[in-house]
């Protein structure tokens, strides 16, 4: 009778797999080597059942039609040691994410890697992980990954690939590799570089080219000007005064994860009066680093040189002589820039000798990197706040343009592209496609057969995911760690290392190759320890030498003055996308749907510009509404080439600058296709980061952009209606200067709306004074809004993506909404972030109104959501003042390509096998028609409580429960724990004067409270323009007074922030 | 008094007593003839056309419900801040419509308002049908329809009860009971007339059909005696329901903490609004019915005038409520509350708000003039306006309160999909289908009760020199 | 003219009302009894691929449950033993029996034996063996006298209310940790006198979760 089980929620792949017979590829997973960690090929298959796999069609049992169908259990044949079915295991590994090498721990559920965490022992992770790193796990389970090699579109086999490569190797041995060209990406890996070296030595005629958008080319060239071979490495923790020149150093650039942690450490105010570091930011864009700044000034990219020159001049006035040919720089001029501001800045930097740090963004030319190095040196920063570490073993390689000219001159007959996607990423003046057509054999190694480059290649080799192959990586500080796989290649794939060795005529596995590199240094115990710790060689890198600015001054002399940016000379900036980078993450649904930190755009890029510029170009300030929001289209043209895309107004950008994010408009898969517009065509080798002389004109047509937060202000928009004008800002993100906080610590409380004492509608369901009571604090003074928590949450809690058309309708499912508010005038605002998830109110409005009691309170103070009881009235969402509940309007866990034959059937059964494997078996998959929301990672809470009960007195120790968001937060802004325990971290933080409850006036008694944000402005600048930072004490007090005025006697008033427990 | 039958009882003011309710010189027999004609004659083309249109609407409704269950509630325009949309709006709208019936039958009955007799039957019918439409919406608006039985308290292996604190649960009972009582009340009232039809029936089929439902009514003294008692009791039961139902429906909003919903004024204001819309709908239907079935002498201008007075009254109460909401929003000093109402009047949905004001508050004001109260065209148009206005009132309350509440970061905009619109139209299809059937197969006027208000019913009629 | 309706039809209305009420109540009964696991699940005893007898192994031979189900104290799942566990003995014991032959062939082929699951919980209910064993809930309490079952049969309804009965008042179902796997504990004299709160070996008093997220994540 029952065709399939009717359960609407499922726990894991195993319990839902329709016939328990996963396709052979899926089952054939085990890490090679490292046998003690691995399952055997067959046992992998058998574990599938341990939790009860297989929903075979079950009829004909006693009381047949009512009973659940038969489930089968497939035990191991031989269970590996230390394997407890159903208990996750963690393995250390390491990979570069967005070009930055970091160490990670991967959670493996019965052989399936499901979740990535930072490795606390790894110096460039410190236990944190970025959004991109968190999302990288999803790529392993992308149903659109290339599963087999192919030659000109026709499916092929690995054997064919081996013979092909063997042939190439044989030929190359003969002609010393003449006509053989390798195009590689930046791979700071000992084994990789070793193999490249061998290639070079065995095939002296072969040519190696490197092209990687994340490679720090300008920084390296800058150092070269100073006679150094290496890169600058920041010690943000040592700096008290920091100047970031168009550098997103705590956001998405370089070692952002550690930088953010160190930066936040410099701002962890425990009591009023504690010292804080100070951050100045000069930038054309509005980065999240800019949002954290104490002082921020806008400045077009072309004007940055001018800024540096005036800074040097200003420093000279403060007795800091910078060994620079200022005269050369002085030809640069900054447009309408407050010289006084620079003077004060210079004074501050000079005052903090040895503790000041100047950072410049990779987008700017080598000369400026060098100049900044000299400034840092003059400020005594060298070796203290920044050090220059030598890079060793980086193989010499040509550039992409060299390769293209080579190919066009028919010097290349065999091209091997190891990773990378030049046809898409190349600048507009390089026609890689036609050049490749001139090459007899082109072999592309990449994850997607539909890659723009793979599509035009004669051969495509499916690349293994990093969780499927071995490798080793050198972090920028010199730490070397091993990349260890957690699963055998699911499909017929090869890793880049394996391809390299095949090109050398050997067919070694990636495991053998890595071992070969390390066998003389690591073996047996030490090798296993390296694997276990995730650190093979501790950080050690020689200083790159001493700075010599002679070469620099020569370069400076040759510097030509850029024409000033103006309304008639627009500047177009090309920036790596914070999610897709150069497009490499384009088919990752989590990242595509993740709202950008500042613009909140999902699934698209757009021509970003500020209000003033948009006004000049005649672009409507507000989108049109025809069901969904549609925006004006513009045509951006530079040097004869042009692209059409939607215009989006983003406050705080420099005037007359347009921002175009790279990485969109790709076609390598269902997710990537249709998302945004490719803008590489506008770039040239000469101007690949920004270009002047651009023209922008509006064109006909409108385009829908899915922005998850189009409202800029922390209250009603005064421009929208005269009635709103009298209503002020709402006290949601509370902010105050450090001085004011020191003077009146209670000011934070006073910012709240005063309300008469409120009674509960219903008596408390629990006694919250007893037992362990979970609570959370989020420190807005550390939170950079980097979105890492949002993706960590998504991957831990099986949160679905809903695709652009539903984000447009406002149905995104993220449990953590990164709220972003602007303050001050729209064209030069400050911005604040507030991660907003369910705050687990003790007096929860949602609980009272649910007619079936599907959301109820736990005795330890959590607001439980019971999916299998929910009927979906959505009343709870209406009554939630924070609007943090998410509803499954459709069956998002059904594979979109399959339509359900029966709407009552659990749609999650329609997920493709490979997608199911990613799901976290400890969290229920939600069915269509149920509400969901943040659970404080209840699965982790329960696990900790169970362990405490099994092993001890049932009391969970502080720090034993770490929610996914806290675990990954680079800034360490989130703290979770028992707020009844006076010694727990969370309760200590909650005692701070800057701890407050959002919407406390509603008497919800939220368990998640926020620590108010502090700004540390330079008194000198502050005196001149007090409004230089937005929402401040002034407004706060005003708000408090409005409250007083509004409500009768103070006798009955209570402060919002009054603690209830 | 003259023998010439009075033709206009709205402008006629006799020296003794009041103007008669029934005009055109009806006696018992002619009345019965008049009221039974629609049942016993062939269906008119007009009826056929209206009925087939209604059937199409019903088909659309059922089709869309199927689509909704198949695809999920996402087929509506709902989104994250706005989790309740047109389904709830339509629900409240229909429950409101359902109010006039019970008010007319029960309250006016208890107050001995004789003029109710001509209209109460169809008003009650309208009530029952409106409640049917209303109840269809909360049922289908849940995300997992097949689990909706969780809302009812019954013993189960999970040891779980519904949450009796939830206003939605109160709704389930309030509206359910209201529907049941209205149905009973309507049916009891029907019995004597069904019997009349039965006795007049010429075919066996009709005799059996009406025979079953007239429960063997013979019009004996005992029958009448029990009937009157039962009717009185039901009237007594129904009266408090008139107030309770919409008060409880308003709790769905008032008990929540959303600015624009969290108001103590809601219960009275909802009840007034409900009566308001209910009477508007009665007028709309009566204008059609009494023209279509030539009952100008039974459903007279005086009835319409009385109803228009009630509309004027309740419309003004509603207008007062709107004003008071605004005043409190400002006076409370709560910026959230203030914003909620400023946003209604000047935000993205201001158009909805001003439609509501002009239809509900302004348009009824012309009923200050007798000319308008006694002009069918004006009556019809205003009643339509009021129906539109009251639908928009619920739209304004549900949508504008939800789309912008506490955290600006969560603000969004709601736009309906074709399914939303189709379901609103479809629910009218359901309503009209039922009403058409009612007009065709049941006496639209409570004949027996009307007979009681005829001059002839006066024991001293003959002494007064009647014939 | 003749009456259409006979005299008895006067009572039909009454009859219909009564019947309808009856139907309503029986519907409720049907749901609460015939559709509840008490009725549908208890006694479920499917044919297994190998006729393994707990009666023989756990009962007559008195093997401890944990010899095979050895993850019960550390994990949520009391995992079915790997085939290798069977072979530990059956390399030498009863090697000729056809049933053992099945096991051996499966083991040699490295193929799993396709056991049919008997105790099935919905996937949204997260049960953890380790914590129950730690609290001193005996195997037999939920699984019944497995030591007397030739073929494993579902003993308890495993319904939510059944779980809650014990979670609300666990003490009757608690026993000394040493007795957890003792199938016959219920029949022993010590059973009657046992008082968990007085047990000196207990480090904490048992407080099972009664709230939703205790079992539903």
Q: What is the pLDDT of residues A885-901, one digit of tens each?
A: 999 998 887 644 444 44
How far is it, in rounded angstroms, from Cα B298 to Cα B302? Answer: 10
pLDDT at A563 (0 to 100): 76
Q: Chain C within 8 Å of A62 (Cβ-Cβ)?
A: yes
**Terminal CA-CA length for chain B:** 13
User: Which residue of A lies nearest to B153 if distances are taken between CA atoms?
Assistant: A852
Among all residues of chain A, which has the CA nearest to that of C115? Answer: A73
For residue C39, the chain A residues in CB contact (below 8 A) are 63, 66
Compare A404 and B300 and report the one with higher pLDDT: A404
Out of A627, A881, A890, closest to residue B257 by CB: A881
Going by pLDDT thresholds of 50, 70 and 90, the confidence category of residue A679 is: very high
Cα(A549)–Cα(A533) distance, integer angstroms: 41
SS3 B118: helix
Highest mean pLDDT among A51-65, A1021-1035, B92-106: B92-106
Here the ipTM equals: 0.91
Which residue of C9, C38, C161 is in closest CB contact with B159?
Answer: C161
Say yes or no for a CB contact (<8 Å) between C106 and A77.
Answer: yes
**C-alpha span between A823 and A829 (Å, rounded):** 5
- Tell me if A874 and B78 make a contact (CB, 8 A cut-off): yes
d(CA C125, CA A869): 12
Q: Which residues of chain C lie closer than 8 angstroms to A67, CB-CB?
A: 40-41, 44
Minimum Cα–Cα distance from B401: chain A residue: A878
Contact C4 B207 (CB under 8 A): yes
Q: What is the pLDDT of residues A1001-1041, one digit of tens each?
A: 888 899 999 999 999 999 988 887 754 444 333 343 333 33
Q: Is B180 on the interface with C (CB under 8 A)?
A: no
In tens, the pLDDT along B31-40 reads 788 778 778 7
**CA pair distance A284, A654, nearest whole angstrom:** 5
User: Would you give the end-to-end CA distance of chain C in angstroms?
Assistant: 73
Q: What is the dihedral of CA B252, B254, B258, B259, to 10 degrees?
A: 140
What is the rounded average pLDDT for all residues in chain A? 84
Closest Cα in chain A, distance from residue C27 (Å) = 16
A803/B341 Cα distance (integer angstroms): 34
Sign of CA dihedral C95, C96, C100, C103: positive
Q: Shortest CA distance to A396 belongs to which of A598, A561, A184?
A: A184
**Is pLDDT of A166 > 60?**
yes
This prediction has a pTM of 0.89
Cβ distance A869 to B150 less than 8 Å, yes or no, reads: yes
For residue A1001, the chain B residue with the least C-alpha distance is B334
User: In whole angstroms, what is the distance from residue A1058 CA to residue A1042 CA?
Assistant: 19
- pLDDT for residue A1032: 39
Mean pLDDT of C173-202: 83
The answer to whether the Cβ–Cβ distance between B408 and A889 falls below 8 Å is: no
Task: Indicate the helix (H) or strand (E) that contains B94.
Answer: helix B86-97
pLDDT for residue B9:
67
Q: Using CB atoms, which residue from C46, C77, C135 is nearest to A85?
A: C77
CB contact under 8 A, A75 and C124: no
Mean pLDDT of chain C: 88
Q: Are A998 and B409 in contact (CB under 8 A)?
A: no
Give the per-residue pLDDT at A82: 81
What value, to the nearest 5°, has the Cα angle with vertex B356 and ends B354 and B361? 100
C-alpha to C-alpha distance for A1047 and A1029, rounded to whole angstroms: 30
The answer to whether the Cβ–Cβ distance between A868 and C44 falls below 8 Å is no
Question: Which residues from chain A sit within 8 angstroms of residue B408, using beta carbons?
Answer: 711, 713-716, 730, 821
Query: Considering only CB atoms, which chain A residues are within 8 Å of B415?
Result: 625, 627-628
d(CA A726, CA C29): 62
- Is B157 near chain C, with CB under 8 Å? yes
Cα A549 to Cα A244, A318, A554, A683, A985: the distances in Å are 21, 21, 9, 31, 49
> If you measure CA to CA, which chain A residue comes closest to B399?
A878
When CB atoms are compared, the residue of A625, A889, A931 closest to B415 is: A625
Does the distance separating the beta carbons of B407 and A887 come in below 8 Å? Answer: no
DSSP A802: -
pLDDT of residue A42: 32
Select the residue from A75, A766, A858, A860 to test the C interface by mutation, using most C Cβ atoms within 10 A: A75
Residue A434 in contact with residue A463, Cβ under 8 Å? no
Q: Please tell me the predicted confidence (pLDDT) of residue C2.
A: 64
Q: Is the pLDDT of residue B384 over 70?
A: yes
**pLDDT of A83 higher than 80:** yes
> Would the CB atoms of B215 and C157 count as touching at under 8 Å?
no
Cβ pair B354, A739 in contact under 8 A: no
Interface test with A, best of B87, B147, B348, B398 (most A CBs within 10 A): B147
Interior/surface letters A954-978, b for 16+ CB within 10 angstroms, e for the rest = bebebebbbbbbbbbbbbbbbbbbb
Is residue A821 over pLDDT 90? yes
Q: Looking at chain B from residue 6 to 65, which residues have their Cβ under 8 Å from any Cβ of chain A?
A: none
C33 in A contact zone (CB under 8 Å): no
Contacts of A998 in chain B (CB under 8 A): 407
A946-971 per-position pLDDT tens digit: 999 998 888 999 999 999 999 999 99
- Closest-CA distance, C111 to chain A, in angstroms, reads 6
The model's pLDDT over A778-809, given as tens digits with 9 standing for 90+, comes to 999 999 999 999 999 999 999 988 888 889 99
Beta partners for residue A474, in sequence order: A480
Residues in chain B within 8 Å Cβ distance of C10: 216
Which residues in A668-767 belong to E strands, given as ranges?
A: 690-704, 706-707, 735-737, 755-756
Give percent of chain A with pLDDT exceeding 70: 87
Chain C residues 24-43 with a CB less than 8 Å from chain B: 28, 31-32, 35-38
**Cβ-nearest to B80 among A811, A890, A1045:** A811
H-state helical runs in chain C: 9-29, 37-40, 54, 65-68, 83-90, 98-109, 129-135, 139-143, 160-168, 189-193
CA distances from A777 to A261, A771, B302 (A): 17, 19, 69
Identify the three-state secondary structure at position B5.
coil
* pLDDT the model gives residue A854: 93
* Residue of chain B with shortest Cα separation from C38: B157
Mean pLDDT for the stretch of residues A6-12: 35
Angle at the Cα of A388 (from A383 to A391), degrees rounded to 5?
150
> Which of C75, C136, C217 best tests the A interface by mutation, with the highest count of A CBs <10 A?
C217
CB count, 10 Å around CB of A174? Answer: 9
Name the minimum distance, in Å, from the CA of B402 to any CA of chain A: 7
Rounded to a whole number of angstroms, the distance between the first and last alpha carbons of chain A is: 54
> In chain C, positions 2-31, which contact chain A (CB-CB < 8 Å)?
none
B147–chain C Cβ distance below 8 A for any pair: no
> What's B143's DSSP letter?
S
Of B154, B156, B211, the CB nearest to C4: B211
* Of C83, C131, C212, Cβ closest to residue A949: C131
Mean pLDDT confidence for A409-427? 92
For residue A904, name the pLDDT band (cuts at 50, 70, 90).
Answer: very low
Chains in touch with B (≥3 Cβ pairs < 8 A): A, C
CA distances from B451 to A53, B21, B455, C60 (A): 76, 11, 9, 92
């Amino acid at each position: 009778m029952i065709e399939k089980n009717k359960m609407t929620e499922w726990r894991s792949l195993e319990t839902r797999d329709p016939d328990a017979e996963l396709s052979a590829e899926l089952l054939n997973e085990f890490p090679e080597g490292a046998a003690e960690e691995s399952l055997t090929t067959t046992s992998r298959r058998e574990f599938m059942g341990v939790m009860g796999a297989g929903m075979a069609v079950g009829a004909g049992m006693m009381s047949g039609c009512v009973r659940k169908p038969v489930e089968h259990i497939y035990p191991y044949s031989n269970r590996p040691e230390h394997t407890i079915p159903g208990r996750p295991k963690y393995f250390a590994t390491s990979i570069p994410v967005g070009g930055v090498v970091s160490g990670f721990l991967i959670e493996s559920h019965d052989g399936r890697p499901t979740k990535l965490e930072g490795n606390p022992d790894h110096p460039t992770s410190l236990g944190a992980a970025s959004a991109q790193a968190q999302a990288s796990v999803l790529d392993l389970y992308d149903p659109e990954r290339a599963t087999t090699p192919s030659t000109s579109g026709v499916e092929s086999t690995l054997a064919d690939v081996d013979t092909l490569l063997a042939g190439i190797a044989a030929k190359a041995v003969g002609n010393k590799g003449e006509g053989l060209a390798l195009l590689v990406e930046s791979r700071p890996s000992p084994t990789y570089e070793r193999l490249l070296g061998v290639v070079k030595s065995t095939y002296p005629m072969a040519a190696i080219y490197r092209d990687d958008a994340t490679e720090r080319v300008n920084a390296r060239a800058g150092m070269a000007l100073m006679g150094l071979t290496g890169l600058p490495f920041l010690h943000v923790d040592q700096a008290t005064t920091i100047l970031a020149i168009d550098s997103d150093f705590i956001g998405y650039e370089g070692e952002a994860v550690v930088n953010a942690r160190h930066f936040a450490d410099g701002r962890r105010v425990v009591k009023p009066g504690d010292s804080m570091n100070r951050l100045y930011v000069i930038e054309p864009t509005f980065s999240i680093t800019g949002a954290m700044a104490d002082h921020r000034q806008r400045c077009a990219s072309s004007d940055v040189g001018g800024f540096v020159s005036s800074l040097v001049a200003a420093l000279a006035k403060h007795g800091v002589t910078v060994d620079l040919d200022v005269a050369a720089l002085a030809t640069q001029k900054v447009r309408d820039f407050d010289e006084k501001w620079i003077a004060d800045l210079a004074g501050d930097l000079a005052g903090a000798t040895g503790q000041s740090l100047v950072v410049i963004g990779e987008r700017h030319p080598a000369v400026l990197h060098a100049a900044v190095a000299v400034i840092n040196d003059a400020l005594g920063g060298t070796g203290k706040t920044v050090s220059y570490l030598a890079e060793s073993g980086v193989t010499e390689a040509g550039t992409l343009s060299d390769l293209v000219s080579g190919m066009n001159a028919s010097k290349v007959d065999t091209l091997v592209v190891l990773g990378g996607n030049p046809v898409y990423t190349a600048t507009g003046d390089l026609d890689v496609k036609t050049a490749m057509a001139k090459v007899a054999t082109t072999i592309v190694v990449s994850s997607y057969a539909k890659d723009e480059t793979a599509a035009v290649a004669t051969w495509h080799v499916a690349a293994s995911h990093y969780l499927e192959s071995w490798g080793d990586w050198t972090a920028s500080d010199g730490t070397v760690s091993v990349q260890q796989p957690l699963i055998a290649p699911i499909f017929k794939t090869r890793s880049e290392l394996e391809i390299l060795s095949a090109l050398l005529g050997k067919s070694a596995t990636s495991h053998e190759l890595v071992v070969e590199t390390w066998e003389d240094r690591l073996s047996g115990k030490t090798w296993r320890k390296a694997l276990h710790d995730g650190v093979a060689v501790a950080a050690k890198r020689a200083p790159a030498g001493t700075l010599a600015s002679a070469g620099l001054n020569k370069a400076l002399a040759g510097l030509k003055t850029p024409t000033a940016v103006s309304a008639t000379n627009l500047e177009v900036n090309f920036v790596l996308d914070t999610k897709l980078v150069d497009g490499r993450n384009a088919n990752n649904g989590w990242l595509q749907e993740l709202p950008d930190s500042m613009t909140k755009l999902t699934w698209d890029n757009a021509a970003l510009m500020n209000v003033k510029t948009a006004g000049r170009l005649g672009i409507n300030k507000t989108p049109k509404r025809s069901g969904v929001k549609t925006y004006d289209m513009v045509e951006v043209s530079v040097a004869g080439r042009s692209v059409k895309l939607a215009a989006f107004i983003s406050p705080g950008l420099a005037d007359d600058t347009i921002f175009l994010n790279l990485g969109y408009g790709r076609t390598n898969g269902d997710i990537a296709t249709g998302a945004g517009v490719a803008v590489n065509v506008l770039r040239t080798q000469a101007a690949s980061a920004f270009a002047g002389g651009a023209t922008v004109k509006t064109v006909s047509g409108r385009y829908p952009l899915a922005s998850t937060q189009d409202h800029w202000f922390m209250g009603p928009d005064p421009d929208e209606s005269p009635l709103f004008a009298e209503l002020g800002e709402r006290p949601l993100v509370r902010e105050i200067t450090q001085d004011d906080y020191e003077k009146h610590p209670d000011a934070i409380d006073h910012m709240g709306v005063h309300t008469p004492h409120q009674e509960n509608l219903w008596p408390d369901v629990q006694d919250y004074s007893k037992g362990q009571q979970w609570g959370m604090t989020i420190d807005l003074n550390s939170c950079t809004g980097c979105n890492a928590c949002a993706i960590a949450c998504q991957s831990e809690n099986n949160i679905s993506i809903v695709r652009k058309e539903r984000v447009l309708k406002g149905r995104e499912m993220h449990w953590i909404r990164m709220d972003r508010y602007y303050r001050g005038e729209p064209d030069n605002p400050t911005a604040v972030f507030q991660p907003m998830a369910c705050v687990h109110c003790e007096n929860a409005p949602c609980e009272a109104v649910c007619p079936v009691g599907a959301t109820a309170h736990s005795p330890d103070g959590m607001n439980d959501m019971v999916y299998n009881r929910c009927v979906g009235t959505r009343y709870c969402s209406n009554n939630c003042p924070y609007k943090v509940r998410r509803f499954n309007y459709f069956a998002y866990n059904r594979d979109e390509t399959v339509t359900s034959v029966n709407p009552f059937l659990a749609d999650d059964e329609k997920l493709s096998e490979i997608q199911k494997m990613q799901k976290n078996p400890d969290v229920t998959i939600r069915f269509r028609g149920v509400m969901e929301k943040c659970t404080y990672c209840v699965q982790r809470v329960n696990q900790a409580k169970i362990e405490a009960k099994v092993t001890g007195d049932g009391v969970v120790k502080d720090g034993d429960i770490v929610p996914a968001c806290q675990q990954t937060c680079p800034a360490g802004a989130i703290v979770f724990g028992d707020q009844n325990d006076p010694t727990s971290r969370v309760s200590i933080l909650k005692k701070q004067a800057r701890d407050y409850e959002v919407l406390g006036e509603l008497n919800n008694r939220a368990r998640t409270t926020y620590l108010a944000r502090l700004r540390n402005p330079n008194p000198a600048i502050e005196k001149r323009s007090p409004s230089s930072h937005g929402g401040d004490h002034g407004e706060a007090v005003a708000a408090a007074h409005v409250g007083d005025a509004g409500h009768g006697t103070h006798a009955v008033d209570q402060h919002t922030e009054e603690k209830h427990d | 008094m003259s023998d010439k039958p009075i033709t206009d009882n709205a402008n006629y003011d006799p020296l003794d007593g009041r103007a008669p309710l029934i005009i055109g010189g009806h006696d018992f027999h002619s009345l019965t003839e008049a009221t039974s004609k629609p049942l016993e004659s062939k269906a008119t083309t007009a009826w056929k056309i209206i009925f087939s249109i209604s059937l199409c609407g019903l088909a659309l409704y059922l089709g869309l419900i199927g689509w909704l269950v198949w695809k999920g509630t996402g087929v509506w325009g709902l989104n994250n801040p706005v989790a309740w949309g047109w389904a709830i709006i339509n629900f409240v709208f229909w429950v409101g419509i359902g109010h006039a019936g019970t008010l007319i039958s029960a309250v006016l009955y208890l107050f001995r308002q004789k003029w109710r007799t001509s209209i109460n039957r169809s008003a009650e019918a309208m009530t029952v049908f409106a409640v049917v439409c209303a109840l269809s919406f909360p049922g289908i608006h849940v995300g997992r329809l097949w689990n909706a039985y969780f809302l009812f308290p019954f013993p189960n292996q999970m040891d779980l009860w519904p949450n009796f604190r939830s206003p939605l649960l109160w709704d389930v009972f309030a509206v359910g009971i209201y529907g049941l009582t209205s149905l009973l009340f309507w049916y009891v009232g029907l019995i004597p007339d069904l019997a009349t039809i039965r006795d007049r029936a010429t075919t066996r089929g009709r005799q059996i059909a009406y025979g079953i439902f007239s429960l063997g009514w013979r019009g004996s003294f005992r029958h009448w005696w029990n009937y009157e008692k039962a009717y009185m009791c039901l009237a007594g039961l129904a009266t408090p329901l008139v107030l309770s139902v919409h008060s409880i429906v308003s709790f769905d909003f008032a008990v929540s903490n959303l600015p624009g919903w969290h108001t103590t004024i809601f219960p009275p204001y909802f009840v007034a609004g409900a009566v308001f819309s209910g009477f508007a709908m009665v007028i709309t239907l009566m204008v059609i019915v009494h023209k279509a079935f030539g009952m100008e002498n039974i459903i007279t201008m005086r009835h319409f005038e009385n109803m228009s007075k009630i509309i004027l009254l309740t419309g003004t109460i509603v207008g007062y409520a709107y004003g008071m909401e605004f005043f409190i929003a400002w006076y409370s000093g709560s910026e959230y509350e203030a914003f909620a109402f400023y946003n209604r009047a000047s935000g993205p949905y201001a158009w909805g708000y001003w439609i509501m004001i002009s239809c509900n508050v302004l348009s009824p004001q012309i009923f200050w003039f007798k000319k308008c109260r006694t002009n069918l065209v004006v009556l019809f148009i205003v009643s339509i306006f009021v129906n539109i206005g009251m639908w928009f009132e619920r739209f304004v309350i549900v949508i504008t309160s939800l789309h912008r509440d506490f955290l600006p970061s969560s603000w969004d905009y709601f736009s309906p999909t074709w399914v939303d619109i189709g379901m609103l139209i479809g629910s009218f299809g359901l309503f009209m289908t039922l009403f058409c059937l009612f007009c065709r197969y049941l006496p639209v006027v409570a004949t027996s009760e009307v007979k009681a208000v005829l001059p002839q019913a006066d024991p001293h009629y003959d002494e007064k020199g009647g014939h | 003219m003749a009456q259409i309706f006979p005299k008895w039809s006067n009572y039909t209305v009454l009859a219909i009302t009564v019947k309808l009420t009856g139907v309503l109540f029986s519907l409720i009964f049907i749901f609460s009894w015939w559709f509840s696991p008490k009725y549908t699940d208890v006694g479920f005893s499917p044919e297994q691929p190998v006729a393994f007898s707990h009666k023989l192994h756990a009962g007559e031979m008195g093997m401890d449950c944990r010899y095979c189900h050895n993850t019960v104290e550390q994990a949520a799942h009391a995992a079915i033993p790997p085939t290798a566990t069977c072979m530990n003995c059956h390399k030498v014991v009863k090697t000729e029996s056809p049933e053992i032959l099945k096991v051996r062939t499966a083991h040699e082929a490295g193929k799993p034996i396709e056991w049919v699951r008997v105790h099935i919980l919905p996937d949204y209910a997260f049960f953890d063996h380790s914590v129950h064993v730690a609290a001193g809930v005996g195997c037999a309490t939920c699984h019944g006298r497995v030591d007397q079952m030739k073929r494993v049969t579902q003993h308890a309804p495993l319904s939510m209310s059944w779980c809650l009965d014990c979670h609300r008042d666990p003490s009757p179902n608690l026993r000394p940790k040493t007795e957890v796997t003792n199938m016959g504990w219920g029949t022993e004299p010590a059973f009657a006198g046992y008082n968990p709160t007085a047990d000196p070996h207990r480090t904490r008093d048992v407080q099972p979760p009664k709230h939703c997220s205790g079992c539903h994540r």
